[in-house]
Structure 1
């Protein structure tokens, strides 16, 4: 039951085969059994979840169906405000904070009838490392390997069958890294497609919110619920939200998919390059047109720390000066931001706009791009938490992620095969702005053609 897809368990609940309460109790028991080792949850809301499940069962029985995920237990990253539930942002200074209002994404999920199991761990302020006071989540495939950041708890809990879907955020790769590391699907929508109201910023112009699931269809169903204009977030788009699930037909005949072989192979783990070649060949066999392109990615990946640092310093301007001693690794990023002149930030904005213009030009001849989700097959857990890699090494780590946070392009990470350390490998598709439907449809075709579909042995 716990490894069913979100849409499948939703159908079972809504057909009366099982109940939301039975499913919720099953997952709460599973969390109690496994999460002392996996450490993915920071807060479990057992009483509230059971109450919500009972209410969902009553509504479904009365014929009031809210969405395909009505009655389905989910969890959210602890960067999103939850009314009456502690929201820490992964930070010591907020460990006792209890918001009065939900983040807009949380409200939309609850209005759709989803059952909130609890809040999931993350790195401090959604940056690169966990605060020293936080027990780091454990990869369910290999406890010696990285879970990915910053949505670490979301990746672990979803992969381990502790929830049917989760919400993550992505500023430089924070949906895609934990999705790739834990063998799940991660969808980073177009910037402004999903409201960020009630979510602590890391970098205001880079932050995205999106679903993390065990199938592409589940990601589409989650996006269907959370996407759309929100007056509480003036940057959210007015564009109409299409029906992402109904649009899936897995027909990719004639879809133009670009690949920059230098980008995906130079200095990259050979097993990842092999995975991309396999995926490209399968896409071609299913009718896609493969086009070789050249991406201007280097200047963008190198400049990400500057933009993120300056914007993080602004986001923490009211708390950092007063509570500096309680800050952990993110303090180094904030200090960098405070030290940089305005000219450095503006120079990166020029680079960013140039990259976006060039990417738009490339997409005139393409529908999608394909590349890895990460530049390495796996990373040792202990190495990932060392502060001496906080600023250094970032451009290489962010090679396949930061450029598309800079551009705001939608991306989809899909588990592909198992790597040499027993942890999954991942491929990434990148789409044109607001064309998530094309991304999702190709992702479903790729998933069916050869994507990794197993689960950790838990």
Structure 2
């Protein structure tokens, strides 16, 4: 890291005093000042701080409190002086499994996935946009080699990645080496599985030893990984070929990274959303067979929705985060972005399972059967979601109805679910405390009220007492969702309906966002508002989501595959990259 920078202009004594009062310790007390200079906590600035926490004390109570606060400031200062690297996880570990609740054992793996790929196309673009299961079938028959497929993608990356700003690093030499090795193994009769020889992109917050892993941020643009993440090792063991590192919004938020804005292939005038921005863009544009993304609060689902990819956010704890940047230890998840639902099953099967270095990861078997009878599957939905939703959402609901599933009306109780956000804000601020305290946050490209720098500064004012009570509320919501899913195989709805994306990220249930249709939209901001007043409209994809009980990804993969077939919109390509 760089040396400490001067304190920000305008950060005078009053502001420093408030920071010192609000940012640490059991009562929100911390170091005053940015460079370690301690200031005495006074009765005046203690009283000034009270409205920020929503408390009010009497003069006598403040007199009693003041005696211990300087000691708490010093204690926080000693803590901040310690080195706490990003990979150091908290002692308290989130577990989505409820006490006394059993979860179905799974041993079947991926069964009855589609295999009839037909003859290999002559057009390289047709090969590039084909799903993994078709590419695997062509390689199995000898009609295609991994080396050929890798060269198709490297050519497309060279032609289009600059326009889409979706790659940070292209590992061309490594990809060619791995592809040749996979072809030799296949020729010798050794096939590792359905991902053998299949090229992919890896989100740039996930490490591969010896290659840059920049976390999308200018502060880390020269960072080179020393180790390889568990998911990258597992994909290598499964035979996948690494094409390169796809862009991530800086520190896993949004589509703005230190050297650009990742673009939506269906409208390159707008960003691809984020933060698995490059993974979604590259997959939808046919620059990779599949990609790996991460989600803390929408970072797989949102860019899939924007770009037209299919994204699977697995159950919390299924996939180890070892070797991936930590943003929020109790929320971070790793999952696949693909062009066809069965591909997500192949990838999840390869990366699933515990790792001793990730205390939040555990072993739970995975299975998905694509020939299962969907008739009678109980699928929850809220009619109001679809009244307020878009036509593709309604088409997806009707497609589910036509498959013979039993649609069951549900409702989400009205509760202050937005209070859960305190967990993400506080954990992220802790994970990147050094950027805030050393003014390095000023170097991040995105500087708006919603961006990380401002969020982290504001998080210093969160009450530790409130944070504990948020965690207690989280447990309440976990029980609530477990009870709702107890009689259901899946839930269907618009991606962001009724706080479902927020809730299930905090409770741990999986979500599958699949392409359900197309809509007319102006160029949009990251949050969906019109980005200009031109009035020009673009035909862009949108997704609908399926949720499942904890560890039951197989339910939504089987249903998602059937919906994908019934809707018939998954194969439409972005015209500029077709």
Q: Provide the TM-score with structure 2 as the length reference.
A: 0.71
The answer as to whether partners of 1:127 and 1:202 remain within 8 angstroms in 2 is: no
Show structure 1 runs of 4+ deviating over 4 A: none
2:520 corresponds to which residue? 420
For 2:145 and 2:328, the matched residues in 1 are separated by: 41
State the Cα distance separating 1:234 from its structure 2 match.
1.7
1:12 alignment partner, SS class: helix
Which moves more between the two structures, 176-185 or 5-14? Answer: 5-14
The answer as to whether partners of 1:40 and 1:120 remain within 8 angstroms in 2 is: yes
Question: Does residue 397 of structure 2 align to residue 280 of structure 1?
Answer: yes
The answer as to whether partners of 1:128 and 1:330 remain within 8 angstroms in 2 is: no
Which moves more between the two structures, 32-41 or 7-16? Answer: 7-16
1:316 corresponds to which residue? 432
Bigger radius of gyration: 2
1:448 corresponds to which residue? 565
For 1:298 and 1:166, the matched residues in 2 are separated by: 35
Q: Structure 1 pair 24/193, CA: closer, same or farther in 2 (3 Å)?
A: same
For 2:159 and 2:394, the matched residues in 1 are separated by: 40
1:366 corresponds to which residue? 488
State the Cα distance separating 1:451 from its structure 2 match.
4.5
State the Cα distance separating 1:57 from its structure 2 match.
0.7
Question: Does residue 153 of structure 2 align to residue 36 of structure 1?
Answer: no
Q: CA-atom RMSD, angstroms?
A: 1.7
For 2:384 and 2:567, the matched residues in 1 are separated by: 24
Q: Structure 1 pair 338/327, CA: closer, same or farther in 2 (3 Å)?
A: farther
Find 2:478's aligned residue among 356, 363, 368. Answer: 356
Find 2:223's aligned residue among 77, 97, 100. Answer: 97
For 2:144 and 2:414, the matched residues in 1 are separated by: 49
For 1:356 and 1:304, the matched residues in 2 are separated by: 12
The answer as to whether partners of 2:198 and 2:289 remain within 8 angstroms in 1 is: yes
1:135 corresponds to which residue? 260
2:501 corresponds to which residue? 401
Find 1:86's aligned residue among 212, 218, 239. Answer: 212
1:117-128 superposed matches below 5 A: 117-128=243-254
Question: Does residue 193 of structure 2 align to residue 71 of structure 1?
Answer: no
Gapped regions of structure 2 (runs ≥ 5): 1-126, 446-450, 522-538
For 1:166 and 1:311, the matched residues in 2 are separated by: 26
For 1:299 and 1:201, the matched residues in 2 are separated by: 26
Q: Structure 1 pair 439/93, CA: closer, same or farther in 2 (3 Å)?
A: same
1:169 corresponds to which residue? 294
1:187 alignment partner, SS class: strand
2:106 corresponds to which residue? none
The answer as to whether partners of 1:180 and 1:374 remain within 8 angstroms in 2 is: no
State the Cα distance separating 1:22 from its structure 2 match.
1.1
1:387 corresponds to which residue? none
For 1:297 and 1:350, the matched residues in 2 are separated by: 17
The answer as to whether partners of 2:436 and 2:457 remain within 8 angstroms in 1 is: no
Gapped regions of structure 1 (runs ≥ 5): 376-395
Find 2:272's aligned residue among 121, 130, 147. Answer: 147
Q: Structure 1 pair 451/404, CA: closer, same or farther in 2 (3 Å)?
A: farther
Question: Does residue 352 of structure 2 align to residue 227 of structure 1?
Answer: yes
1:391 corresponds to which residue? none
1:158 corresponds to which residue? 283
User: Number of residue pairs matched?
Assistant: 426
For 1:303 and 1:228, the matched residues in 2 are separated by: 31
Question: Does residue 409 of structure 2 align to residue 292 of structure 1?
Answer: yes
The answer as to whether partners of 2:255 and 2:277 remain within 8 angstroms in 1 is: no
Find 2:337's aligned residue among 212, 216, 224. Answer: 212
Which moves more between the two structures, 315-324 or 199-208? Answer: 315-324
Q: Structure 1 pair 297/418, CA: closer, same or farther in 2 (3 Å)?
A: farther
